[in-house]
Structure 1
Amino acid sequence: MTSTVFETVTPDSLVYLDRLAATDLGRSYKGRMLDELDVRPGQTVVDLGCGPGTDLSALAEAVTATGAVIGVDHDQTAVDAARERTAEQDTVAVTLGDIHDLRLADCTADRARTDRVLQHVADPVLALREIHRVLRSGGRIVMGEPDWDTLTIDHPESDLSHAYTRYVTDKVIRNAYIGRQLPRLATEVGFAVPTVIPVTPVFRDVQAADKILGLERTTQRAVAAGYFTEEAARRWLDHLANGPFLAAVTFYIVAAES
């Protein structure tokens, strides 16, 4: 089943985050999220699930020396990396924390952001309630999340495409439908939701898509879970590797106000 086209070793999670941020896709949607966040000098911004600090410098630049940026992540390795990267930025503080139970006082922040975080958390509604609690009245959060049910990969055997997407939504991503759900969930916890922006990147290069989707690794797991036979998986990957390639998935940028 192995092909030299696909990555066979799962990249380190922090390396993966940096790699995605450096792509044209990453720069584009992150720039759009920053625009929607509308950060002003002097404000306090919380980056929830900040990872290795990929976006902290841009936020620090936006708040200027008169503001503050707080990065929060549940992973100590990510926190250590983010602290190292921002060591010379006095306006940035990075803390270990749980998005479901933030160690922040009520009405602490003017702005908050989450980037591909809520798809993985245990309880997105509880996380949204916590974010609502720490935002000041009139504060804003911008969230970016994919809707994995929209994942489309072209293949002559459409049932194989459906099986792959079904495996991703059933087994790979904890909250696979969070992109479409965010406006409703945010409204239910007390936010107003003035802006929903769908972004649908289209991949024509299989190796570029593989660096984000892990096509062969995910297919192997789908075989083990019974979503593909070995023979079906071979046909699936052979076409992806050698035929014309097209994949797309819709990513939602949702701005909500407290």
Structure 2
Amino acid sequence: MANKHYDINYLQNSRRLLINLKEHSYSFFKSISSGTIVDLGCGAGNDVIELAKMAAENVKIIGVDHDPGMLQQAKEDAKEINNVDFILSEAYPLPFEDGTISGLRTERLVQHLKNPEKVFSEISRVLKTDAPFVIIETDWNSLAFYTELAGIQKKVIAYLTDVKVNNGFAAAKLTSYLKQNNFRDIRFEIHPFVVNTLKEANEYFWIEKMIQEAAQKGYIEEQEYHALYKALQAEDDENYFSCSINLVVASCVK
């Protein structure tokens, strides 16, 4: 957990910001009348629960995650829901037979994968023909603070995309991963998110933590860290703070 840039509190905070986008992602699975839908990298299971509420009676929702603590919370929250199950597993290999899954959703997972090509191949293996596959991913390269310290900001983003996040340019690579595995009917949507207080930026994007880490790892100087964060605080104090980032939704079928 120490190497992650998220925990259960972070996921819950970001959920409030992303609720409309999440609900949009569920809509791709509404036509499934039977079988199994997988939420890969399900975290604490909130999306599994919401998918289960939407799903037809004969559809089972399975959440898969590698974090026992996340799954413990997920199982507790979903204990009274009959069509839900959770499996402790890495994203590769997946514990399903070939061509047995009716739909698969994954949110902010690809950025953490060290071998994404293997995972996309594995997802293709387990999905049925014509099954929908939906991905939500963060475009870390789009992160923007609106100060005059563009050079420092550029270094912080480089830290995020090159070091902190395993696959920092995952959002830009999604269509390539999908085409390599013969997914079709690919659609790509960009959803910008803007917060207007430093408090929200720290809750949703962990901005202060990321800038501190960039200084600790030598991507920016200590004085650059203080200068950038002072500028962000000044903007917040004067009520013109803005921070934005794009999330993308890629949808396709097997």
TM-score in terms of structure 1 length: 0.91
What's the CA shift for 1:93? 1.0
**Which of 5, 13, 19 in structure 1 is aligned with 2:7?**
13
Question: What is the alpha-carbon distance in structure 2 between the residues aligned to residue 251 and residue 36 of structure 1?
Answer: 17
Q: Structure 2 unaligned segments of length 5 or more: list them.
A: none
TM-score in terms of structure 2 length: 0.92
Q: Give the aligned length.
A: 247
Q: Structure 1 unaligned segments of length 5 or more: list them.
A: 1-9
Query: Aligned to 1:137, what secondary structure does the other structure show?
Result: coil
What's the CA shift for 1:203? 1.9
Question: What is the alpha-carbon distance in structure 2 between the residues aligned to residue 209 and residue 193 of structure 1?
Answer: 35
Summarize the alignment of residues 107-256 of structure 1 with structure 2, pairs less than 5 Å apart. 107-243=99-235, 244-256=240-252
- Counterpart of 2:19? 27
- Counterpart of 1:6? none
- Counterpart of 2:91? 99
Question: What is the alpha-carbon distance in structure 2 between the residues aligned to residue 166 and residue 193 of structure 1?
Answer: 32
Structure 1 stretches of 4+ with a deviation exceeding 4 A read none
- Range with greater deviation from structure 2 (31-40 or 208-217): 31-40
Alpha carbons of structure 1 residues 205 and 191: separation in structure 2 relative to 1, 3 Å: same
What's the CA shift for 1:170? 1.5
Q: Is the 8 A contact 1:37 1:255 kept in 2?
A: no
Query: Is the counterpart of residue 66 in structure 1 residue 79 in structure 2?
Result: no
**Which of 78, 86, 111 in structure 1 is aligned with 2:78?**
86
Query: Aligned to 1:30, what secondary structure does the other structure show?
Result: helix
Provide, for residues 41-97 of structure 1, a one-character-per-residue CA deviation record: whole Å limited to 9, x for no partner: 324200101111111121112223221111111111112111111111111111111
Question: What is the alpha-carbon distance in structure 2 between the residues aligned to residue 178 and residue 245 of structure 1?
Answer: 28
Query: Which letter does structure 2 place at the counterpart of 1:223?
Result: A
What is the alpha-carbon root mean square deviation over aligned residues? 1.6
Question: What is the alpha-carbon distance in structure 2 between the residues aligned to residue 132 and residue 246 of structure 1?
Answer: 39
Question: What is the alpha-carbon distance in structure 2 between the residues aligned to residue 96 and residue 145 of structure 1?
Answer: 22
